[in-house]
Structure 1
Amino acid sequence: MNPKARSFNFSSTLEYLLPAMVFTLGMHLLRVFISGLAWYLRDTVGISTISLIPYAFGTFLLGFLAAALRRLAGSRNALWITAGGVAILRLVEQLSANPALDFGLSIVGVGLFLNFLSIFIGHIRMQGDRAAPRWVYGLVLGLAFDIALRGVFGARDLNTVSGVVPLVVVIVIVVLIFWSLWREPKPEAGIASDATWKHALPLMTIGPYMVLQLLFFQSQGWVEEVAGLNAPLGFVIVMLGNLAASVGIAWGFARPRSMHPILAFGIAIYLALVVFYADQAGGMIVFTILIGQLLMGWGWAVVASVAKRADRPGLWRTTVFVAGGMVLFLALAFAYYLAMDIAMPFPRQVFPAAAATLLGLLLLNASIQTRSQTEVASWDLSGISVAGVLAIVPLAYWALLGSAPTPEQPSGLPIKVMSYNIHSGFSFSGRQDLEAIAHVIEDSGADIVALQEVSRVRLMDGSADMSTWLSQRLDMPILFRGTEEPIWGNAILSRYPVLESGWGELPLAGTLIKRGYLWARIDVGGPQPLLVIATHLHHLPPDSLARQAQVPIILRFWDGQGYSLLLGDLNAQPDWTEMKLIADAGLLDSWSDAGVGPGFTFSSGDPFQRIDWIWHSEDLVAVEAQVLQTQASDHLPVVAILDIAP
């Protein structure tokens, strides 16, 4: 079967607008919801991790209402309710600065978004042959547009960025959604809108696909950390991956029978291995992103070709598999992060690998069904053209970004240093506000800053690239090293030249979250380079033995060297054994030298314990130490001015 050639078609591009824009805003609301579960409900409200399950799954079960909503309101009205509802709620959320309201809006918004997915598929099935490419290109282009927007705003969600510009962007998207709804044709009565159970089954692919996309394939931070690349190369590669996905879709529609079942089975094995060893891929992750996206795009075309067949009234079968797929997404993503709180009998990487395996098996099912497909296929370059334009965005951003921050000429001691657990950018009230974190650091005048709980495009943390953005915003070079994941860990900001740097792992000692330390030798203009060690020890107070196992590893690396600092959230109070180990090794506590009062650093809303520390070697002296009062994080930053000891 030779595909008919078809060039760029502007009307086809307009057809992709509604699903792409709704998908973009749906991703915004989904990230608010997922991060809200962790940082608002759990950390601010105080709900246990297990108690989050009803909130999480209760919200996603709303997706099963799609068939009933369509039956009550009609196809076009249901589309207006869901797509329009997503648009309005996202606009309100942009105007809100209340984390409780944000989370409530995200619950309703995610529910409407999940219903939109099924209702839109049923709606366009009634419009003929354009059904398959329209929704699948809309999905992939929506992801690409979402990443492009976040990249332009420094890998931050627009809802976390204040000001007129992000508000105008959201308003434009909302207007485009309502314009697209207005021009959406009303389907004729009596036309079939649902598929058989057999043909609807591959739609469940959306769940495993979203797991892979949101955890790995759309994370420029993951790409840069694993491959050792500088920003914004990860942004460029992720956008090229989305372009590759569009090429895969076009190829799949042009040659639907080329997805042989054996090839689909191979894709399942390939993707499972790729995500299981995603943190060990090195430079090969670049090819992994491009090849993986090409194959998944190809697979989506096959799934859509099967699922477009409508020969039943209603929407129940489509609803069951689309909503079921998204519940599967939640279950796998939730379990992936739950493994950091509750011990599992297997590595947490099993969950994304399971997603990849399920995706491959669903592609296998779809590929078997396409073997009997006989309709004439054609090339459609419209989706590729849009993805190509979006792929230019990171290149333009790179050109406009200018050079990376450069160090200042060192002026010698004294210097001001800070240790700050930034709580993944979430304030004490549970709202992510990186600008508030930046203000705290900037106003302190610190020359060297050790940061903990820093993430780089991590789904649970709102997918912000914190280290890159803070470095650019503060005009300070940064070192970052992931611990539990390549994209979550410790960082060091320094105004002065870093001469040498490295990192080390700390023992788990029966705990679940991997810990480590980051070190740098910094030229501060003193008699010799300053050794700065930044770390974040195990967090549960009763588990002192775990910290007692971690501290000696750091002390062994330090090895009594002069001109040294140990900074970090050590999760231990002054009279605890693990802190006595540090004191007995010869390091001195800056707060004991120069602080006034108890020096409590946690929690920022009602401080009651001192667990954030600045230790220094005996050849240095703290001449001033203070705890800054701010609720930009759940911790208070501790700051000290250090000079050469007399």
Structure 2
Amino acid sequence: MSQRRLGTATLALGLVVLIDVLRVFLPSVITIFGQAASTPAELLGAYALGWFVLALAAPVLVARVGADLVGVVAVLLLGAARLALTAAPGGRAQLWLASAALLAGLVWLAATAARVAHPVPGLVLGLTANALGHALLGTYDLVWWGRWPAWVASVAVVAALLAAETTFGRRRDTTQRVDDDAPPARLGWLLVGPALLLGGMVALSPAVASTAMSYWYGEAGTGLSPPFALAPLGVAAPLFLLGALLPVHRRWRMLPPVLLLFGALLFGYGPPPLLSLAMLLGAAGLGGCLGLVAVAPARQARTGPAFAAVGGMLGFAVATMVYYAAYDLGYPNQWVPAVVAALTGVVAMRGATVSGGLRQSPPESAPDLPRWRLAALAAIVALAAAWLHGPWLVSSNRTGPPERVRLVAYNIRMGFGLDGRFDLTALERAVGRADVVMLSEVDRGWLLNGGHDTLGLLAARLGMPYVFAPAADPLWGDAVLSRWPVQRARTRPLPAVGAPTGAQALGVTVDFGAGVRLAVVSTHLQPPPGADPVVQARAVADFATGYADGAPLVVAGDFNTEPGDPAFTTFTSAGLVDALAPARPLPTSPADDPREQIDHVFVSPDLVATDPVAVPGIASDHLPVAVTLTLSGL
């Protein structure tokens, strides 16, 4: 293997491991350092950004100690911390291990930038490989599996990275003088952070792909064939790959930045059904922008690219925190991906200008692949992504009216327990053998939470199809799962009344057969801090009674209000019955020391609700509440 290809392989493998670490670090900051939303958002951001700022010292360390030695030590620390995360039981140990792994990864990135003159091929292959690997795992990271295959795969990837790093350092010509600056190379390293952000947020996210398909094939998911659940990724990945590695003629050099910006705008401001188009445009544009900065002279300054790489990752952290902090602080955030896309386009155009703006033949930075091999590689990537299934979607699996139905309402906090671990087994255990499940705080691909399709994963484990309703954006909201067929899915946005996070009410009709139906409305009231959500409660009550239109009705979810508060009495004044009343007091939050009764189930008077309970556990920061409904005679 040539030295340049070895550097490309090392960078690609390192990025795979670094992205895996980011998928643990980011949610750990929120769930462990954040302590169930009790820590101010400003402090959370300062903690997260602090590690990226600390990494700005890495280029100086590389210049003084040597890139090869720093690179090997950083890989050893990164690999050890990554493997330790697989064994970590969660909690503070997970937070500190993830933080240490992130810092080691950033130091390694700086050392690699000082040695690899052409970062684009490694960046492109690393992002593509990570996306396909995440798709292969159904967006359920190896670090959370806790089984021996996860250990084998994790050890194999870390061992491959270590072998590549040591071989690269041993073979590299360390006597070569590096005394010239290379603007295109430096610009290529500067785009590592934006590429990770835009790729992970939309362009190369398997969770976004499966969510986008669910909007096209019906909200309940029953019409979606599993082999094609990731079809958008099957198109986006080769577009990204070819855009970065194929020549770009001068006359078309404006096209990639325009496509990327349009895709980011569509992601931020477009309707949910156009999410797949945003993904395709973003992938093609992002790949093309990386291709525009791929051409670089062979020589480069030792510290310039290193600072560019770490600075680009600092930009990743800032943009990530700014985008997701909006849901705590309350400001518009749709502009963030668009601004990052615009800046990426500016850097790409600068790279094209410096390099002459014309690439009639494969660029010097390409991995020496003829066009037919690049086409074959893109075809393989497309087939692999299109046929890899995400979470398997199932059809309703019961017919005929039962006498009793077990209903559970649960705020799952994006799938993360109080220990900070993404634990589907604990969630499945908390839900139990429910027949109808109403979920709040459902995440279907937020980069901040690791890019999982939590709803699809949980639905597959429970063997229940779902209906999803977006609230904050197309990837975050509420859901209803049912073992019986559902009809008439309707959703209504709720008044914001100054609340930072969006809210909605989702109505579905469960069809038990023989004319027996049940109207179910799932919601999550989001009041401003310290306020009662009475305005939203009135909107939900009006929507629910109108939607039911005289049919038996259940309204449940996280209401963020206590019994007797104005919002609570809004539902009882509307003629609904507190189904949990016989078991009260029944505190549901926080899960490890419940003191607040903010999760509720209301039913119409023609329903008999028995066996109310709040199920103990720490799979979320809330406890699930459950009741048994008697349907006989309806």
**Is the TM-score greater than 0.5?**
yes
How has the CA–CA distance of structure 1 residues 374 and 645 changed in structure 2, closer, same or farther, with 3 Å as cutoff?
closer
Q: Give, in angstroms, the shift of residue 19 of structure 1.
A: 1.5
Structure 1 residue ranges, 4+ long, deviating more than 6 angstroms after superposition: 9-13, 372-376, 400-403
How has the CA–CA distance of structure 1 residues 281 and 456 changed in structure 2, closer, same or farther, with 3 Å as cutoff?
same
Aligned equivalent of 2:338:
353
SS in structure 2 opposite 1:622?
strand
1:456-513 per-residue CA deviation (whole Å, 9 max, x = no partner) reads 1111222111111111111111111211011111111111111332222111122221
Question: Is it true that 1:501 corresponds to 2:489 in the alignment?
Answer: yes
Whichever residue aligns with residue 295 of structure 1, its letter is G
Aligned equivalent of 2:472:
484
Q: How is 1:337-416 mapped onto 2 (pairs within 5 angstroms)?
A: 337-344=324-331, 347-371=332-356, 377=362, 380-381=369-370, 385=376, 388-398=379-389, 404-416=394-406
Cα distance in 2 between the residues matched to 1:357 and 1:323: 20
Q: Give, in angstroms, the shift of residue 283 of structure 1.
A: 5.5
Q: Give, in angstroms, the shift of residue 284 of structure 1.
A: 5.2
Aligned equivalent of 1:32:
24
Cα distance in 2 between the residues matched to 1:11 and 1:69: 24
Q: Give, in angstroms, the shift of residue 269 of structure 1.
A: 4.0
Does the 8 Å contact 2:588/2:614 carry over to 1?
yes
Does the 8 Å contact 1:35/1:459 carry over to 2?
no
Correspondence for 1:581 among 570, 577, 595: 570
Q: Please, what TM-score do these two structures have when normalized by structure 1? A: 0.88
Q: Give, in angstroms, the shift of residue 348 of structure 1.
A: 0.8
Correspondence for 1:159 among 130, 143, 149: 143
Question: Is it true that 1:241 corresponds to 2:228 in the alignment?
Answer: no
Aligned equivalent of 2:438:
450
Aligned equivalent of 2:449:
461
Q: Percent identity?
A: 22
RMSD: 2.8
Q: How is 1:43-442 mapped onto 2 (pairs within 5 angstroms)?
A: 43-44=35-36, 46-125=38-117, 132=118, 135-184=119-168, 185-192=171-178, 195-196=181-182, 200-201=186-187, 203-226=189-212, 228-229=215-216, 230=224, 233=228, 235-252=230-247, 255=248, 258-260=249-251, 263-278=252-267, 280=270, 285-306=275-296, 308-312=297-301, 314-315=302-303, 317-344=304-331, 347-371=332-356, 377=362, 380-381=369-370, 385=376, 388-398=379-389, 404-442=394-432
- Where does structure 1 lack aligned partners over 5 or more consecutive residues? 1-8, 126-131
Does the 8 Å contact 2:209/2:231 carry over to 1?
no
SS in structure 2 opposite 1:351?
helix
SS in structure 1 opposite 2:47?
helix
Q: Give, in angstroms, the shift of residue 309 of structure 1.
A: 4.2
Cα distance in 2 between the residues matched to 1:334 and 1:432: 20
Q: Give, in angstroms, the shift of residue 632 of structure 1.
A: 1.1
Q: Give, in angstroms, the shift of residue 392 of structure 1.
A: 3.5
How has the CA–CA distance of structure 1 residues 239 and 14 changed in structure 2, closer, same or farther, with 3 Å as cutoff?
farther
Cα distance in 2 between the residues matched to 1:166 and 1:44: 28
How has the CA–CA distance of structure 1 residues 83 and 264 changed in structure 2, closer, same or farther, with 3 Å as cutoff?
farther
Does the 8 Å contact 1:602/1:609 carry over to 2?
yes
Q: Give, in angstroms, the shift of residue 403 of structure 1.
A: 6.8
Does the 8 Å contact 1:412/1:525 carry over to 2?
no
Correspondence for 1:627 among 600, 614, 624: 614
Whichever residue aligns with residue 613 of structure 1, its letter is H
How has the CA–CA distance of structure 1 residues 389 and 166 changed in structure 2, closer, same or farther, with 3 Å as cutoff?
farther
How has the CA–CA distance of structure 1 residues 10 and 169 changed in structure 2, closer, same or farther, with 3 Å as cutoff?
farther
How has the CA–CA distance of structure 1 residues 64 and 449 changed in structure 2, closer, same or farther, with 3 Å as cutoff?
same
Does the 8 Å contact 2:503/2:526 carry over to 1?
yes
Q: Give, in angstroms, the shift of residue 78 of structure 1.
A: 1.8
Q: Give, in angstroms, the shift of residue 636 of structure 1.
A: 0.6
Cα distance in 1 between the residues matched to 2:85 and 2:281: 36
Correspondence for 1:642 among 623, 629, 632: 629
Q: Give, in angstroms, the shift of residue 540 of structure 1.
A: 4.9
How has the CA–CA distance of structure 1 residues 432 and 403 changed in structure 2, closer, same or farther, with 3 Å as cutoff?
closer
1:168-204 per-residue CA deviation (whole Å, 9 max, x = no partner) reads 1101101111221232213232421762568624532
Aligned equivalent of 1:6:
none
How has the CA–CA distance of structure 1 residues 103 and 502 changed in structure 2, closer, same or farther, with 3 Å as cutoff?
same
Whichever residue aligns with residue 431 of structure 2, its letter is I
Q: Give, in angstroms, the shift of residue 295 of structure 1.
A: 3.2
Q: Give, in angstroms, the shift of residue 435 of structure 1.
A: 1.7
Aligned equivalent of 2:598:
611
Q: Give, in angstroms, the shift of residue 142 of structure 1.
A: 1.5
How has the CA–CA distance of structure 1 residues 193 and 616 changed in structure 2, closer, same or farther, with 3 Å as cutoff?
farther
Does the 8 Å contact 2:352/2:358 carry over to 1?
no
Moved more, 73-82 or 541-550: 541-550
Does the 8 Å contact 1:64/1:320 carry over to 2?
yes
Does the 8 Å contact 1:506/1:553 carry over to 2?
no
Cα distance in 1 between the residues matched to 2:66 and 2:479: 53
Aligned equivalent of 1:536:
524
SS in structure 2 opposite 1:124?
coil
Q: How is 1:562-573 mapped onto 2 (pairs within 5 angstroms)?
A: 562-573=551-562
1:599-643 per-residue CA deviation (whole Å, 9 max, x = no partner) reads 111111111121111111111111221111111111111110111
Does the 8 Å contact 2:59/2:306 carry over to 1?
yes
Whichever residue aligns with residue 209 of structure 1, its letter is A
How has the CA–CA distance of structure 1 residues 176 and 607 changed in structure 2, closer, same or farther, with 3 Å as cutoff?
same
Aligned equivalent of 1:3:
none
Whichever residue aligns with residue 588 of structure 1, its letter is V
Q: Give, in angstroms, the shift of residue 343 of structure 1.
A: 3.4
Q: Give, in angstroms, the shift of residue 88 of structure 1.
A: 1.9
Does the 8 Å contact 1:215/1:458 carry over to 2?
yes
How has the CA–CA distance of structure 1 residues 368 and 120 changed in structure 2, closer, same or farther, with 3 Å as cutoff?
same
Does the 8 Å contact 1:507/1:549 carry over to 2?
no
Cα distance in 1 between the residues matched to 2:228 and 2:74: 36
How has the CA–CA distance of structure 1 residues 310 and 491 changed in structure 2, closer, same or farther, with 3 Å as cutoff?
same
SS in structure 2 opposite 1:524?
strand
Aligned equivalent of 2:221:
none
Does the 8 Å contact 2:393/2:459 carry over to 1?
no
SS in structure 2 opposite 1:43?
coil
How has the CA–CA distance of structure 1 residues 194 and 352 changed in structure 2, closer, same or farther, with 3 Å as cutoff?
farther
SS in structure 1 opposite 2:161?
helix
Does the 8 Å contact 1:619/1:645 carry over to 2?
no
Cα distance in 1 between the residues matched to 2:369 and 2:570: 67
Moved more, 621-630 or 206-215: 206-215
SS in structure 2 opposite 1:50?
helix
1:255-299 per-residue CA deviation (whole Å, 9 max, x = no partner) reads 5xx245xx5445434432321232525665545433432332232
Q: Give, in angstroms, the shift of residue 146 of structure 1.
A: 1.7
Whichever residue aligns with residue 70 of structure 1, its letter is V
Whichever residue aligns with residue 479 of structure 2, its letter is A
SS in structure 2 opposite 1:542?
coil
